[in-house]
Amino acid sequence: MTPAAPRRLGVLMAVYLLGIFMGAIDTGIVTPARTIIQNDLGVDEQTGIWMLTIYTLAYAASIPVMGKLADRYGRKPIYLLSITLFGVGSLLCGLSQDVGSFGMLIAARAVQAIGGGGIVPIATAEFGTSVPPEKRGMALGLVGGVYGVANIFGSSAGSLILDVFGTSNWQFIFYVNVPISAVIIVAGLVFLPNHKVEKVARIDLLGTTLLVSMILLLLYGLRNIDFFDVAGSLTSTDVYPYLLGFVLLLPLFLLAERRAADPVLNLGYFTDFAIGVTLLLAFLAGVILMGVVFVPQFAENALRIPSGEGGYFVIILGLASGIGAPLSGRLTDRFGPKPVLGLGVVISAIAAAAGVWWAIPSPSWTSVCTTLALMGLGLGFTIGSPLNYMMLDRTAESESNSALATLSLVRSIGTTLAPAFLVGFLAHAGTDLQAAITADLPTQVSTPALPYAAELQATFAELKKDDRLKDELKGVEFPDLASKTTIDISADGGGSLPADLVELLKTADVTTITARTKVVAERMFAEQTPSVIADITDGVDTGLTSLHSAEKEVASAHHKLVKAVKGVDAGITGMRKAAKGMRSGIAGMTRGIAGMTSGVRGMSSGLVKINHDLADLTAALAGVRAAYHAIMDALPPGTPEPPPAQDLHAKIDSLKAAVKGARKGRAALVAKRAALVRSRASLTAKRAALSRQLATVERKLAAAIKDRRTLVATRDELASARSDLADTAHKLTVLRDAVPGAFETAKDDYLAEIDKRAPIIEQTFATTLNGGFRGIYLSTLVASLLAALLLALYPKRSVVPAPASSPADTAS
């Protein structure tokens, strides 16, 4: 194929380089948004990586097909078809956010990849055959420079678009490809020549079908292997059926290719030692390249910047790659591909070592930027022109499309498997985040003082000793308000955190980990504290129930005592009234007795007088009688009474009558006095009986008064106890109602403590994730060293080959 004219070559290079630019810019744009997209669409890290993996699967599967189609129908229509598919896929990727479907995004990325599978190999073949030999080094330098600038613009544009439109509008990072695709299609239709192989055998449909199926089966099966548990994952239905399918199809594919007039894959490539080494180097280059995928997240974690901002750091890598790629092209023209590729893998190894033993343990702008610059420089040499030179150097020009397609396919296998393997380091580091972060959290938080807590605790102790309420409070269990001075916060509540919280921690970045840790802490409070609150409130409610029951019993007893006091008061009033009546009766009896005694005395005095009078009458009677007898004796017997004697006789009769009357009066008076004495004695006895009754009443009255004092004292004590119980119940109710608020305050204090520990938490987060990045870049170091070892086995050519071009062929 003759080289194109210089003027037309410039247009041809522009159209093809713009396609390479679009593919490269898409890689840069998606990289800083990967975690944002997967979080927005609600998928985890290992599912989210499929937005890269599906691209590389479909990309790898389409490469040989597009190469053969370009051989048969020409590079121009297949290239423009590839651009169209890439543009349509980009449009659908953007629309997937509006639909909110991760499945749609994956399908659209597959459409993008099918288009991408034709862009770079076809452009590479066109440069390898259309550019004059003396200008191919310059062309390759230009390709590398465009690729580096595209990466710079892509990563910067990705971060810029996220900044301008917000992380909630990540769809615009895909829409940028649509106008670029339209420009390429229009320019391609006008300016691109249609170069194709003149003699093309019948297309190998069977081989193509088997190869695509084998690629998909192999890559999907390998993609699902957990490289941290290979033996275990090989038994998974997501792994062994697909690997088994690949093994079963392999002999059929080999048979079909041997019989095909124009096999889709030249099996001779795998029997040529030099080509085999080249393909292995391409595989390792793909592994090394995939370390770039994690650069934004690595920079964000190391320098503690928000998600999405790490894309700006790919500028450093792109600048260095933009320097290394054209430089590698010129050096390859002069020294051949082997030493140039050797320099690239050595620089890549140094970059990986710098990341592992400098940037990760001592993160700073200097260490991170230097590591990224070395990484970009190494990639510029590794994935630039040397491998394509080596492949084209060992194959015929007529096989340039299929040869470079095979190289791209093998490299794509590396770029497919590498993320699946490398992301495992981050996934395992993310799994360790729960234990690491929660170990930094406070395990206890002080409980704010509840109202009346100390006072109630003392009251409970007094109530237990109160004899007045011994019966009423028997068996009552008062809540222990003194023991709840702290709340134990378990990091896992007795088990693992819920999956959504684990994922929340795993998808955090160093700038959001404290806020997300607080979300976890709030959930821990929400899940763990209700049982504590319930225990406290249940205990308080039990105490309140007991207090209310005791209060009712005390109120009942108090009511009975009030009635008893009223009854005693009525009895005392009655006894006092009775005693008063008795005293009045005794006083009357005493007065009666005194009157009777006075009457007896008067009668006795009357008897004395009567006796005196009777004695005087008796003496007078005796004197009269003596005078009478003296007169009569002086007279002769039978002498009639003389007048003096008659007078005396009459006087004697009168005196006799007087004596008799006096005696009769004395007897009557004696009888009356005796009756009065008897009456006085009876009244005295009655008074004595009444006095005894009065004494009994007074004793009962005194006892009743004493009992009343006891009842009143007991009544007042019960009233006081009832008041104390009611007051205690009120305070306990206030305390119970304050418990939720106290725990809310405790939660706020706990979250404030987390804020204080933010530097520690961020450091733990960064250190834990750094373990994942350490594994990633140790892996790229091993890949670089293996590439250096393989390169040492690559046989030398006696003549430096004519250069063949290569864009930085990479999976997006």
Q: What is the pLDDT of residues 246-290, one digit of tens each?
A: 899 989 988 988 887 777 777 888 888 989 899 999 889 888 887
Stretch 617-632: mean pLDDT: 84
Task: Give bridge partners of residue 446 from the DSSP assignment.
Answer: 486
Reply yes or no on whether the pLDDT at 565 is more than 90.
no
For residues 680 and 686, what is the distance between their CA atoms, to the nearest angstrom?
10
For residues 764 and 438, what is the distance between their CA atoms, to the nearest angstrom?
10
E strand map for 438-568: 444-446, 486-488
Stretch 662-684: mean pLDDT: 87
Stretch 53-67: mean pLDDT: 76
Residues 6+ apart with CB under 8 A from 458: none
pLDDT at 476: 63
CB 782 within 8 A of CB 348: no
Closest CA to 411 of 389, 382, 434: 382
Residue tagged 């580091």 (tokens): 429
Q: Which of 221-235, 611-625, 655-669, 782-796 has the lowest mean pLDDT?
A: 221-235
Residues 435, 439, 440: CA angle, nearest 5 degrees: 130
pLDDT at 810: 35
Q: Which of 101-115, 203-217, 579-593 has the lowest mean pLDDT?
A: 203-217
CB 732 within 8 A of CB 456: yes
Reply yes or no on whether the pLDDT at 402 is more than 50.
yes
pLDDT at 811: 32
Stretch 188-192: mean pLDDT: 86
756 phi and psi, to 5 degrees?
A: -65, -30
CB 379 within 8 A of CB 806: no
Query: What pTM was computed for the model?
Result: 0.65
For residues 86 and 103, what is the distance between their CA atoms, to the nearest angstrom?
18
Stretch 176-199: mean pLDDT: 83
For residues 360 and 353, what is the distance between their CA atoms, to the nearest angstrom?
10
Reply yes or no on whether the pLDDT at 109 is more than 60.
yes
CB 807 within 8 A of CB 128: no
pLDDT at 515: 85
Q: Which of 261-265, 445-449, 702-706, 762-766 has the lowest mean pLDDT?
A: 445-449
Residues 6+ apart with CB under 8 A from 81: 115, 118
Reply yes or no on whether the pLDDT at 30 is more than 50.
yes
Residues 6+ apart with CB under 8 A from 26: 86, 90, 112, 116, 154, 174, 177, 812
In a 3-state reduction of DSSP, which class is residue 480?
A: coil
Stretch 125-141: mean pLDDT: 65
**Tokens representing residue 401 in the block:** 């499309």
Stretch 594-612: mean pLDDT: 86
Stretch 54-71: mean pLDDT: 77
Give CA torsion, residues 591, 592, 593, 596, to 10 deg: 120
Q: Which of 534-543, 765-774, 794-803 has the highest mean pLDDT?
A: 765-774
In a 3-state reduction of DSSP, which class is residue 265?
A: coil
DSSP sequence for 304-353: T--TTGGGGGHHHHHHHHHHHHHHHHHHHHHH-HHHHHHHHHHHHHHHHH
446 phi and psi, to 5 degrees?
A: -70, 140
Angle between helices 400-439 and 758-793 in degrees, nearest 10: 150
Residues 6+ apart with CB under 8 A from 33: 158, 162, 167, 170, 173, 308, 311
Reply yes or no on whether the pLDDT at 799 is more than 50.
no
Reply yes or no on whether the pLDDT at 465 is more than 80.
no
pLDDT at 370: 94
Quick one: what percent of the chain has pLDDT higher than 70? 85
Rounded to a whole number of angstroms, the distance between the first and last alpha carbons of the chain is 31
Reply yes or no on whether the pLDDT at 792 is more than 80.
yes
Task: Give bridge partners of residue 801 from the DSSP assignment.
Answer: none
**Tokens representing residue 163 in the block:** 């900044």
For residues 612 and 623, what is the distance between their CA atoms, to the nearest angstrom?
16
Sign of the Cα torsion 130, 134, 140, 143 reads: negative
Q: Which of 448-457, 486-495, 615-624, 682-691 has the highest mean pLDDT?
A: 682-691
Q: Which of 196-205, 494-503, 755-764 has the highest mean pLDDT?
A: 755-764
CA 12 from chain center: how many Å? 60
Which of the four pLDDT bands, split at 50, 70 and 90, describes residue 804?
A: very low
- Residue 496 DSSP class: P
Task: Give bridge partners of residue 384 from the DSSP assignment.
Answer: none
pLDDT at 633: 82
pLDDT at 480: 67
Count Cα atoms within 13 angstroms, Cβ side, for 57. Answer: 23
CB 312 within 8 A of CB 159: yes
pLDDT at 540: 77
Residue tagged 């396609």 (tokens): 19
Residues 6+ apart with CB under 8 A from 142: 13, 17, 326
For residues 170 and 15, what is the distance between their CA atoms, to the nearest angstrom?
28
pLDDT at 119: 82
pLDDT at 371: 93
Q: Which of 123-127, 361-365, 592-596 has the lowest mean pLDDT?
A: 123-127
Give CA torsion, residues 593, 594, 595, 596, to 10 deg: 50
**Tokens representing residue 128 in the block:** 């390898």
Task: Give bridge partners of residue 445 from the DSSP assignment.
Answer: 487
Reply yes or no on whether the pLDDT at 623 is more than 60.
yes
**Tokens representing residue 662 in the block:** 């006096």
Reply yes or no on whether the pLDDT at 185 is more than 50.
yes
Neighbours of 338 (CB within 10 A): 18
**Tokens representing residue 587 in the block:** 């006083």
Q: Which of 49-63, 149-163, 166-180, 222-236 has the lowest mean pLDDT?
A: 149-163
Averaged pLDDT of the chain: 80
Q: Which of 367-376, 658-667, 789-798 has the lowest mean pLDDT?
A: 789-798
For residues 810 and 408, what is the distance between their CA atoms, to the nearest angstrom?
8
- Residue 237 DSSP class: T
More confident residue, 810 or 210: 210
Reply yes or no on whether the pLDDT at 351 is more than 50.
yes
Burial label for 477, CB within 10 Å (0-12, 13-18, 19+), is exposed
Reply yes or no on whether the pLDDT at 5 is more than 70.
no
Residues 149, 153, 155: CA angle, nearest 5 degrees: 115
pLDDT at 368: 92
Closest CA to 686 of 582, 599, 595, 580: 582
**Tokens representing residue 382 in the block:** 């590794």
For residues 180 and 368, what is the distance between their CA atoms, to the nearest angstrom?
33
For residues 14 and 621, what is the distance between their CA atoms, to the nearest angstrom?
196
Residue type, 224: N
Residue tagged 């394509």 (tokens): 388
Q: Which of 381-390, 610-619, 791-800 has the highest mean pLDDT?
A: 610-619
Which of the four pLDDT bands, split at 50, 70 and 90, describes residue 342?
A: very high
Residues 41, 42, 48: CA angle, nearest 5 degrees: 75
More confident residue, 279 or 309: 279
Q: Helix %, strand %, coil % for the chain, to 5?
A: 80, 0, 15
For residues 687 and 695, what is the distance between their CA atoms, to the nearest angstrom?
12
More confident residue, 252 or 164: 252
pLDDT at 800: 42
For residues 6 and 471, what is the distance between their CA atoms, to the nearest angstrom?
114
